[in-house]
Amino acid sequence: MVLDKIENSGLYKSLHPRFDKAFEYIQKTDFSLLDDGKYEIEGENIFALVQEYNTKDAKDAKPEAHKKYIDIQYIHSGTELIGVATLKNQVIVVTDPEKDITFFDGETSLVKLEAGMFAIFFPGDLHMPGILETQPAKVKKVVIKVKSIV
């Protein structure tokens, strides 16, 4: 897992050959003009999911992980907490290979993401996004899905 401000994204471009294009998209796109939805960047190798939602209580969420895609989660506006943990021996609750998502039971540590920050979640990094800080708040987030295998 990586947690940082978007102005430092250049430090992480060497971690994957597709990260350069993913971060370029984040930095050059005015997300205030985009509606919720899926936006193609490089076919199914890199695409963006734009989401606007209200944060929720941690008791209403489950940690998740992906196998085929790396998540770059960028906060365009608002603030949320994200639960994080390393995949060990947590119990699988639901898995959907078609959607590349598995939900788990298990504890996480909460980290705060504010507008202009991003987190990178690799396969093996559990994350539980969209958690409220003190009360529900509106967040606009962009999740860049980067195919993990080149």
First to last CA, the chain: 19
Tell me the average confidence (pLDDT) per consecutive run of 10 residues in the chain, 150 residues long. Answer: 97 96 98 98 97 97 97 98 95 96 96 98 96 96 92
**pLDDT for res 36:** 98
pLDDT attached to residue 68 = 97
What is the set of domains in the chain, with CATH numbers?
2-147 (2.60.120.370)
Tell me if 132 sits within 8 A of 80, measured CB to CB.
yes
Please state whether beta strands 37-42 and 125-131 pair in parallel, antiparallel, or not at all (unpaired). unpaired
pTM above 0.85, yes or no: yes
